Amino acid sequence: MNFVARLPAHLTGITFWGVSLTLGLVACSQKTPPEATPPVNPAASAPAPAATAGATPAAAAPGAAAGAAPGAAAGAAPAPVVSVVTVKVEKRDVPVTLKAVGSAVSLASVDIRPQVTSAVTQVHFKEGQFVNKGDLLFSLDTRTDETNLAKAKAQLAKDQAALADAKRQLTRSRELVAQNFVSGAAVDTAQTLVDSSAAVVASDTAAVQAAQVALSYGKITAPHSGRTGVINTPAGSIVQANITVMANVVQVNPIAVSFNLPQRDLADFLAAASGTEQVKVTATLPEDKKPMIGKLQFVDNAVDPASGTVKLKAVFNNKDSKLWPGLFVNVGLTTKKIEDALVVPQAAIIQSVRGPIVYVVEDGKAVVRPIKMVYPAGPEAAVTGVQENDVLVVDGKQNLRPGVKVVERPKENKEPGKDGGAAGAAPGAAAGGASGAAPGAPGGNAQPGTPANAAAPAAAPAAPAAK
């Protein structure tokens, strides 16, 4: 009850203090705070002593203008100019060449095997030596065959003597029959003996030839010209007939290159092969840029279903032995020509999201030109969308935008503006020197309050001394 009775008095006090606080805030807000006094610029106060000293205010104006002009020129942003390397679009015939990777293969590679079981008595060549057809390679032990040949010849001589005797008896029998001393049966008997003896002589002759053939197997010669491989059977080795591989002879000149052509290019190839002109095949080694020209020799009669390719083979003259069996080469198969094609370097083409484009220089500015690829030919490409003699940007296109000014890069590949920047600094320095004030050298664009402007008052007192 006591607190309730005193509640109006407390409310009156709170209201009084609230009104007092509000009036104090209003009074404070009506007062304006004193403005901050700007710092005194010594350079701004410098002209006053100069005026009292009799210096003409107009004399300071040219210096100020001279110092300000270079700074203004230096601060202006020049239009961007990009240095580029350009090339002109050419019009010429472009051969369409199908590319493939092939391997050199020998036209004849033979493993030398003996036809008789014998021992090697002598090797007549060195490993890796080039041999001609018919050159002696190996000699085998032929003493048994020589004995058999001599025996066959002796038997032949014996039977030939028997045949001669049978012929004489036949002649004698005919004479006796003519004189009626013997009957005609004697002649028939003599004739039979002659015929049988002749057959025996023929058999002996065949036996002699067989012995000679067996003897010839002891001399192993090169089946064709080529280069020999490793000698697997040195002298003294025992070789088995038709089993032991004694060496290998590989033909290297001429040599063939085998390669596979994708089935998507088969139609173009068949169209070119059916023409009057022979299909031109080139083979280029990875380390040699000069291609070798050959002739197409073989085209397989079916497409390999496993790889979807057709096997082809071309023959090349290999007098210099550049191609070696098993060597991988780049094969080019020329099928046709694109006449009057517009040829541009591949380096000038940019692959954008909307397709290939190029930058064309028109009136000193870069212009975007969309193109369409017709046929890529190594470092060049036949395209459409440009005209002959159009100037394309090859180097520096990464810095270009449509409408940007371009300048042809000098041959010494100096970036433009390097020498010009040094030349542009000279006028500023000269202007600063002409004004007679050291601060002119920094370009006349120093901010107020910097040490460059602070040096100005030092020059002002010199005027009264001169007076």
pLDDT in tens, the chain (467 residues): 454 556 555 566 666 666 666 666 655 555 444 444 444 444 444 444 333 333 333 333 344 334 444 444 445 556 678 889 999 999 999 888 888 999 999 999 999 999 999 999 999 999 999 999 999 999 999 999 999 999 999 999 999 999 999 999 999 888 888 888 877 888 888 899 999 999 999 999 999 999 999 999 999 999 999 999 999 999 999 999 999 999 999 999 999 999 999 998 888 888 888 876 778 899 999 888 788 999 988 899 999 999 999 999 999 999 888 999 999 999 998 888 888 899 999 999 999 998 999 999 998 899 999 999 998 887 899 999 999 999 999 998 888 888 899 998 865 544 444 444 433 333 333 333 333 333 333 334 434 334 334 333 333 444 444 33
Distance CA 175, CA 407 (A): 123
Distance CA 50, CA 57 (A): 8
Residue 202 is predicted with a pLDDT of 95
Residue 153 is predicted with a pLDDT of 95
Residue 149 is predicted with a pLDDT of 95
Domains located in the chain, CATH noted: 83-92+340-408 (2.40.420.20), 98-107+252-338 (2.40.30.170), 112-248 (2.40.50.100)
Whole-Å CA distances, 126 to 41, 110, 131, 231, 320? 102, 17, 10, 8, 21
Distance CA 98, CA 280 (A): 11
Q: Residue 35 gets which letter from DSSP? A: P
Whole-Å CA distances, 116 to 242, 322, 331? 7, 38, 44
Residue 269 is predicted with a pLDDT of 86
Whole-Å CA distances, 290 to 118, 252, 286? 50, 20, 10
Which residues have C-beta within 8 Å of that of residue 89, sequence separation ≥ 6? 342, 343, 344, 386, 387, 388, 389, 390, 392
Q: Which tokens in the block code for residue 237?
A: 């080795």
Which residues have C-beta within 8 Å of that of residue 258, sequence separation ≥ 6? 102, 103, 104, 105, 311, 312, 313
